[in-house]
Structure 1
Amino acid sequence: MVNKLLGSFEKGLSFQEAERNIKQFGLNEIKIEKSKRAFSIFLDQFKDILVVILALSTAVSFLLGEFLDAIVIFFLIILNGLLGFIQEFRAEKAIESLKNYVSYKAKVVRDGNLEEIETRFVTINNIVIVEEGDRIPADGILLRSFSLAVDESILTGESLPVEKDEKNENRLYMGTYVVKGKGIMKVTSIGLETKMGKIAKTLAEIEEEKTPLQRRLNQLGKQLALVCLSICAVIVILGILRRQNIYDMFMIGISLAVAAIPEGLPAVVTITLAVGVQRMAKKNALIRKLSAVETLGCVNIICSDKTGTLTDNLFV
């Protein structure tokens, strides 16, 4: 049956040619970003300006001899960091598991024999057989078609399958599904050179922006820092004018500034966002960053086309 299906394409690449092509063009993989390490995710939790202010207030409290206050504030900082770390670490692991889930096999012709290999070893000029239920392993040209229809919704958003033939619709794309028939394709692009790979590269080039909540918290942190410095300055100046001990006035100003800082705010924000993440997880929505929950909660209108595809800059 395989020989009848292949016809003049029955030989395919030899094992030596395939190895040579893999060395020349690389593996058929889409790898853009490196997964974050646990330590890196943990450190990211302490980059917020409010957390930095709390850390400074912890040090000041310790220097002033307020050990209980210093311990409480330090505990809140660590609690806030752990809560954010646990959620984001889980999200990273879930994303990694999804990446592993998409690993699949491809049927290629090597030295006249039909071989089933991992898709990462599919290379340029490989002859690949696809049939109903298969996922296309790379971009290529359809050489022979037997009532072939492919679901390309992952690329186009269109839910209806596309009928393929050797003359008009003869392009096949990585990641799309065969919903009907059989076909023989010749691989022309692999990895990042495929249409799917180019989409992945475009997504990787998008700069990460701060969410509205992060911007507001940063603004609040700057305002608190300004208030604290102002309190210190006013107390010291008043002490100098009243001929008080400058050191005592400085220490009083610092104590008041530390008292003005809402130590529990970062922890309360993190806990609230974590609850939101858990609720969305029950709805099968995976949230990578805690701060994204607040942004999603602010969305009132989502604009999409008739297939439900989201388009950049169409929702505010």
Structure 2
Amino acid sequence: MKPFFNQPVGEVLQQFNVSPDQGLSSAEAKKKLEEAGPNQLASKKQKSIAVIFFEQFRSSMVVILLIAAAVSGVIGVMEGEGLTETFIILAILIVNAIIGVMEETKAQSSLDALNKMSAPRSKVLRDGEVTETVSTQLVPGDIVILDTGDIIPADMRLIEAVNLKIQESALTGESVPAEKSTEAID
């Protein structure tokens, strides 16, 4: 099967069994969302608290303090002074690691909340009506309506466009907007 950008608009609409005037039905969209999953990039797996904790011991200053604790312990045992200084240094390092874990998990949860608040929305034609939905709910075959200034919410095949120019600098580095048309690209 040829990529959608290589096919005429009519063929693409036929493959998705969608009308450009009606869009998908809500039931079809729900079914496709279950099949294809949400319209989002795969997110990185969250680190466990144990991994974050042990990452706190990777900085050069912490390594130096661990070496100092080991040297202090050896000298303390050899001279019979005990391990008090060693335990104090280790306690400080553990408290520092716990604080680091708390700060990192707090920062991650704040970032997650910010991402949820700023979820982009898209206008989509479903059941013959233009409705607004969260962009992660877009599915293959949706008819998306774009207006001036909109962010392109997904990989799409244009079916209708008038003087459309897209700012692609984030993808290509080119600062001049690229003209787009509905013609199949060979």
Q: CA deviation at 1:160?
A: 1.4
1:62, 1:41 → 2: CA distance?
31
The TM-score with structure 1 as length reference comes to 0.43
Aligned residue identity for 2:24: L
Query: Do residues 157 (structure 1) and 168 (structure 2) align?
Result: no
**Contact 2:26/2:127, CA 8 A, preserved across alignment:** yes
1:125, 1:145 → 2: CA distance?
17
Q: CA deviation at 1:35?
A: 2.8
Question: Deviations for 1:22-48, whole angstroms, at most 9, x for unmatched residues?
Answer: 121111111231233444322212256
Q: Which residue of 1 aligns with 2:26?
A: 15
2:160 to 121, 139, 144: 144
Correspondence list, 1:207-218, <5 A: none
Aligned CA distance change for structure 1 residues 42 and 58 (closer, same or farther; 3 Å): farther
Greater length-normalized contact order (CA 8 Å, ≥ 6 residues apart)? 2
Q: CA deviation at 1:93?
A: 5.5
Query: Do residues 105 (structure 1) and 121 (structure 2) align?
Result: yes
Aligned CA distance change for structure 1 residues 113 and 131 (closer, same or farther; 3 Å): same
Aligned CA distance change for structure 1 residues 150 and 125 (closer, same or farther; 3 Å): same
**Contact 2:22/2:125, CA 8 A, preserved across alignment:** yes
Aligned CA distance change for structure 1 residues 165 and 154 (closer, same or farther; 3 Å): same
2:132 to 79, 96, 116: 116
Aligned residue identity for 2:143: I
Query: Do residues 36 (structure 1) and 47 (structure 2) align?
Result: yes
Query: Do residues 167 (structure 1) and 183 (structure 2) align?
Result: yes
1:125, 1:133 → 2: CA distance?
23
Correspondence list, 1:50-65, <5 A: 50=64, 53-54=67-68, 56-57=70-71, 60=74, 63=77, 64-65=80-81
**Contact 1:61/1:69, CA 8 A, preserved across alignment:** no
Q: CA deviation at 1:15?
A: 1.0
| RMSD of aligned alpha carbons | 3.2
Q: Which residue of 2 aligns with 1:45?
A: 56
Count, aligned residues? 162
Secondary structure, aligned partner of 1:115 = strand
Correspondence list, 1:217-236, <5 A: none
Q: CA deviation at 1:147?
A: 2.0
Aligned residue identity for 2:29: A
Structure number having the greater helix percentage: 1
Q: CA deviation at 1:78?
A: 3.7
Aligned CA distance change for structure 1 residues 68 and 52 (closer, same or farther; 3 Å): closer
**Contact 1:12/1:111, CA 8 A, preserved across alignment:** yes
Aligned CA distance change for structure 1 residues 106 and 168 (closer, same or farther; 3 Å): same
Aligned residue identity for 1:32: S
The TM-score with structure 2 as length reference comes to 0.69
**Contact 2:65/2:89, CA 8 A, preserved across alignment:** no
Structure 2 gaps of 5+ residues are 1-18
Q: CA deviation at 1:104?
A: 0.6
Structure with greater Cα Rg: 1
% identity of equivalent residues: 31
Structure 1 gaps of 5+ residues are 1-7, 170-316
Q: CA deviation at 1:162?
A: 1.3
Aligned CA distance change for structure 1 residues 40 and 122 (closer, same or farther; 3 Å): same
1:58, 1:85 → 2: CA distance?
27
1:167, 1:25 → 2: CA distance?
27
1:59, 1:23 → 2: CA distance?
59
Q: CA deviation at 1:95?
A: 5.2
Aligned CA distance change for structure 1 residues 62 and 47 (closer, same or farther; 3 Å): farther
